[in-house]
Chain A
């Protein structure tokens, strides 16, 4: 059994998770990464996606996060999410609204850089929608 470490998932509104976990899969901005105990210190931004938490007790929990960043040190991992909800509580209407907003952003973008950024965000959101909706 893998060693446990402390994982915290924090959104501006509340502290969602704070417990001992075995591993956490984080949707990093430059690819997914699995964090386990004694990970090298990393700081990364995250893209909209699903965080999978394997608790020390053996359970598995999944959370949807919309952007944010993670602070990983050997003794623990803190994930600051802009907004986070458990996958089972995801509000489809809310997700649809976010996608709609992203679409508007993409069409309203003034320069190429902003547009590509908005489109990237949009594609991340649609991928996310595809990943969780059948579940």
Chain B
């Protein structure tokens, strides 16, 4: 049985922890708002990009001059996985969810006899995947120094991927990130980015009336300029969603922690009070029985 002093110390320490988790929750809430704004601001660009891309693909009509980034190499032997996670922990199951999805995917690919390469974005994913697949990780991108995520960061990652593709380093590239649905739910998602464009094709007939575009320079040339840019945009969007998701997850995790700390303080206070009362009673009995013995 802990003494009264021990109990007092524990209550004090739990209270201190509660203050910390509360503060972290508030910081996460503020950051979440900013991350959501950033994601919101990036949306018009990616939407326009999608519609323009659909327009051009339609103009080319799947002709032979579509760049390799779009059509793929025709094989699917080597897979590249870009796994985006957070830089910090203490955000519930956020990182492990993404890592689990990636791991399932890797296992499936390995069972099919494919070769797998991994690029880790963010420290946590690297830490988790390193345990099982250290030999497959070819690169890791550290974003810890980055305060506000810029397009430059995403562009650098995309350039790396495209460079590798042009060297024939892989056939299919899949992006792993967490889709931000709401503060309490983030959905780990796998999205194929190379070869791209298959998904953007059915967006036709949106701009129905003005289908006759003039292209300057040739559509093929625009497309070969556009596709790498589209990959950067996809990566950028994934990173932004990830940040928002991380903050959401952290917020709810810290909210839980704060509540747990509150429960614990209540329980400890009850034990403390009970024990104090027991001690008082004991002392009274001692005094009374002492007086009676006289």
Contact = CB atoms under 8 A, between A and B. Distances in A.
Instruction: Say whether A associates with B.
Output: yes
Interface of A: 8, 10-15, 28-30, 40-45, 68-69, 71, 73-74, 78, 80, 82-83
Contact of B213 (A11, A43, A45, A83): A43
Given A12-B45, A80-B45, A43 B52 contact: yes
Given A14-B41, A15-B44, A42 B222 contact: no
Contacts of B222: 43-45, 69
B48 A10 contact: yes
B213 A69 contact: no
A29 B216 contact: yes
A13 B150 contact: yes
A78 B214 contact: no
B216 A30 contact: yes
Instruction: Give the 8 A-B CB pairs with smallest separation, nearest first.
Output: A14-B41, A12-B151, A44-B216, A42-B214, A41-B213, A41-B210, A10-B45, A12-B45
A122 to B, nearest CB: 17
B80 interface: no
Interface string B44-67: 111011001001100000000000
Contacts of A41: 210, 212-214
Contacts of B56: 43
Given A11-B151, A12-B151, A42 B217 contact: no
Contacts of B48: 10, 71, 78, 80
* Chain A CB within 10 Å, residue with most, of B45, B210, B222: B45
26 contacts: A10-B44, A10-B48, A11-B151, A12-B42, A12-B151, A12-B232, A12-B236, A13-B38, A30-B217, A41-B212, A41-B213, A41-B214, A42-B214, A42-B216, A43-B55, A43-B56, A43-B214, A43-B215, A44-B215, A44-B217, A44-B222, A68-B229, A69-B52, A69-B225, A73-B207, A74-B210
B247 interface: no
A12 B238 CA distance: 13
B81 to A, nearest CB: 23
B28 interface: no
A5 to B, nearest CB: 14
B151 A71 contact: no
Contacts of B150: 13
Q: Is the interface of B mostly helix, strand, loop or mixed?
A: helix
B26 interface: no
Nearest to B212: A41
A41 B210 CA distance: 7
A45 B207 CA distance: 20
Nearest to B213: A41
Given A13-B150, A41-B212, A69-B52, 20 more contacts: A10-B44, A10-B48, A12-B42, A12-B46, A12-B154, A13-B38, A13-B41, A13-B42, A14-B41, A30-B217, A40-B214, A41-B210, A41-B213, A41-B214, A43-B52, A43-B213, A45-B216, A69-B225, A74-B210, A80-B49
Interface string B225-241: 11001001100100000
Contacts of A42: 213-216
Contact of A82 (B46, B212, B229): B229
Contacts of A74: 210
B217 to A, nearest CB: 6
A82 B158 CA distance: 13
Contacts of A43: 52, 55-56, 213-216, 222
B214 A45 contact: no
Contacts of B41: 13-15
Contacts of B154: 12
